[in-house]
């Protein structure tokens, strides 16, 4: 389960950046995850709930947004979404990406990233 490892790194980065001296509480952590990370949102949420116990962000919720993949073809200049094969074997292997316009090998320009986008916070007195 690589979701736990990735989430551990994200939670560590958040804790390192948050200053416990401020009078606010983190309510929601908003992350964006590329579809080619193959990270399962429910597994990320579970790992998050385990990792934040007894930390400055305890009690926060996690919101996961999926970033759709985008490719760019150097041969025909196509820029757009990846088109997947509907073959059942696709779901068992690492996908082979080709340009939907000309069939050549494109560059993946989005869909592999994992980003902490923002935090929703409230002042401690607002609860």
Burial (0-12, 13-18, 19+ Cβ within 10 Å), 20 = exposed
Q: Could you read off the pLDDT of 67-110 as tens digits, one per residue?
A: 999 999 999 999 999 876 656 555 556 677 889 999 999 999 99
Helix (H, G, I), strand (E, B) or coil at 80: strand
1 shares a domain with 20: yes
Element (H, E) at 127: none
pTM strictly above 0.85: no
> How far apart (Å, rounded) are the C-alpha atoms in residues 114 and 87?
27
Same domain flag for 11 and 64: yes
Q: Residue 119 belongs to what domain range?
A: 1-68+111-127
Quote the number of domains for the chain.
2
Instruction: Assess whether 94 and 123 both reside in one domain.
Output: no
**In this structure, are 21 and 55 located in the same domain?**
yes
Residues 59 and 88 in one domain: no
What pLDDT is stored for residue 97 in this prediction? 85
């Amino acid at each position: 389960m690589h979701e736990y490892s990735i989430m551990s790194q994200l939670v560590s980065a958040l804790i390192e950046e948050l200053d416990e001296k401020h009078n606010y509480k983190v309510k929601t952590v908003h992350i964006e995850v590329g579809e080619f990370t193959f990270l399962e949102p429910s597994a990320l949420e579970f790992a998050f709930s385990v990792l934040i116990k007894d930390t400055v962000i305890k009690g926060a919720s996690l919101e996961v947004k999926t970033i759709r993949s985008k490719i760019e073809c150097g041969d025909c200049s196509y820029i757009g979404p990846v088109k997947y094969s509907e073959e059942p074997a696709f779901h068992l292997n690492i996908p082979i990406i080709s340009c939907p316009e000309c069939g050549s090998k494109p560059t993946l320009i989005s869909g592999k990233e994992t980003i902490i986008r923002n935090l929703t916070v409230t002042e401690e007195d607002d609860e």
